[in-house]
Amino acid sequence: MIVSINKTKTTTFRRLAEVVFGASAPVLFSLISLSSNAQNPAPAKPQAKPMALVGGTVHVGNGTVIEKGVVVFDKGVLTAVGDASTTFDKSKTEVVDVTGKHLYPGLIAMGATTGLVEISSVRATVDNQEVGSITPNVRALIAYNTDSEVIPTLRNNGLLLTQATPQGGTLSGSSSVMELDGWNWEDAVLKKDDGLWLTWPAFFAREFNFDDFSVNLQRNTRRQEVINSLAQLFSDARAYSEIKNPPITNLKLESLRGLFDGRQNLYIRADNSKDIVESVKFAKQHGVKKIIIIGAEDALRVAEFLKENNVAVVLGETHRLPTRQDEPVYQPYRLPSLLQKAGVTVALSYGEAYWRTRNLPFTAGTAAGFGGISSEEALKMITSTPAKLLGIDNVVGTIEKGKLATLVVCKGDILDMRSNGIDHAFIRGRKIDLDDRHKRQYRKYTDKYEIGEK
């Protein structure tokens, strides 16, 4: 919320807030004051004329690297991609020399809550879940906040697309793919309702002990009850999907229709190996066409099963300790490469985080450094592979002619936090303002203490 109020109205508003909201008024007022003092850059304007980025190293996103490349785009679409011999009309094109720099496709954050959560400790700014445990008709995209202060911080690490993902309950609702620039969610959405999110009832529930910081496993006593409810829902939804024009629309069953004709993915949150196998079998038994496992901490134990069933995995947070005490400490770092070598399609996410999602490229760098795969293979896990899983690989995910000009220009290796530095970012050819709250704070205190070059 962006509000502009003068001093007279400030006092009146504060008193009104105290009457209406009581003890919560100070928090509410501080949020409004914060948003009125620091505003995000306005969304970028459409591309005005053709642009060519020349001389840089082009990391296409499919494993190909073009040295001294040329990337040309017009009206938001890539019109030419190639080496130094690539020709274009220089008289009508804005030419930008990016020699010594690197070009990458816009990175894609799967399974994130960016734009749905602003301050996790302030309930009024959290809109990532709905009341109820079975809510397949809930749509995350209408809660997506394009004015979030978090969004610009992601763009500064090369992330230009995010999957706005619902949380909570057993069947949380549908996610949508959003561009990280726009006036509202209608502007920002790239693909609506790409899939539904199911949290599979686990065999064991984890219980954290704050006394000794240990994790205890408790048997999930309600597990079968939840599975029975899901079985009934999916059976009803499958039967409903066979009716082309139902006389009465059932919103819950209607929202599941895309699972049975392949238009939507079913994203299943499951970590334990038994849960992974059981959930996949459940989905296939009920006629679900496209299944993707989210989290998948135990995926290596059932890699052959996943490969045989053509089930991709989107790993959760890579920068963590192993789940099991007998696993090597670097097992989470090596997991992406081990699964890939086992023939499983792998994409990376940062779990269902929001501001920490900006660290996604560095998890890919970790996978390359510890897993024995190339940087280009790791890059695919956050560009072309997510694009394929989300069904948007025809427009984004790689730097190829005919696709949207959604890309970044980086000073160094985008997967390395030491050299990662985004100079330019483009979404549909629109040049993005890379200012953010972090940079504003840096400038503020640099000026105060007169730090920097004299």
- State whether residue 116 is helix, strand or coil: coil
**CATH of residue 202:** 3.20.20.140
Q: Are residues 322 and 244 in the same domain?
A: yes
Same domain membership, residue 446 and residue 383: no
Which of 366, 390, 414 finishes a domain?
A: 390
If asked whether residues 68 and 139 sit together in one domain, one would say no
Domain count along the chain: 3
Q: Is the domain of 284 the same as that of 365? A: yes
Burial of 76 from C-beta contacts in 10 A (0-12 / 13-18 / 19+): middle
Residues 19 and 159 placed together within one structural domain of the fold: no
Same domain, 179 and 307: yes
Q: What are phi and psi of 72, to 5 degrees?
A: -120, 135
What does DSSP say about strands 65-74 and 51-59: parallel, antiparallel, or unpaired? antiparallel
Instruction: Judge if 239 and 313 occupy the same domain.
Output: yes
| Phi, psi (deg, nearest 5) at residue 301 | -70, -20
Q: pTM for the whole thing?
A: 0.88
Alpha helices for 350-393 (secondary structure H): 360-371, 375-380, 384-390
- CB count in 10 Å sphere of residue 390: 24
Structural domain boundaries, residue 96? 43-106+397-454
In the chain, what is the straight-line distance between the N-terminal and C-terminal CA atoms, in Å?
39
d(CA 357, CA 115): 11
Note the helical H segments in 296-372. Answer: 303-308, 331-341, 360-371
Separation of alpha carbons 304 and 311, rounded Å: 10
Last residue of a domain, one of 361, 390, 419: 390
From first to last of the 454 residues of the chain, give the pLDDT tens digit: 333 334 444 444 455 445 455 554 554 445 444 444 556 788 999 999 999 999 999 999 999 999 999 999 999 999 999 999 999 999 999 999 999 999 999 999 999 999 999 999 999 999 999 999 999 999 999 999 999 999 999 999 999 999 999 999 999 999 999 999 999 999 999 999 999 999 999 887 767 677 776 667 778 788 999 999 999 999 999 999 999 899 999 999 999 999 999 999 999 999 999 999 999 999 999 999 999 999 999 999 999 999 999 999 999 999 999 988 889 999 999 999 999 999 999 999 998 889 999 999 999 999 999 988 999 999 999 999 999 999 999 999 999 999 999 999 999 999 999 999 999 999 999 999 999 999 999 999 998 888 655 4
Task: Say if residue 49 is in the same domain as residue 178.
Answer: no
Which residues are within 8 A (CB) of 391 and not within 5 positions of it... i.e. 6 or more apart? Answer: 191, 194, 265
- Do 231 and 378 fall into the same domain? yes
The two three-digit tokens of residue 286, written as one number: 């009920």
Euclidean distance between CA atoms 47 and 53, whole angstroms: 14
Q: Are residues 79 and 216 in the same domain?
A: no
Residues 384 and 402 in one domain: no
* 266 & 293 share domain: yes
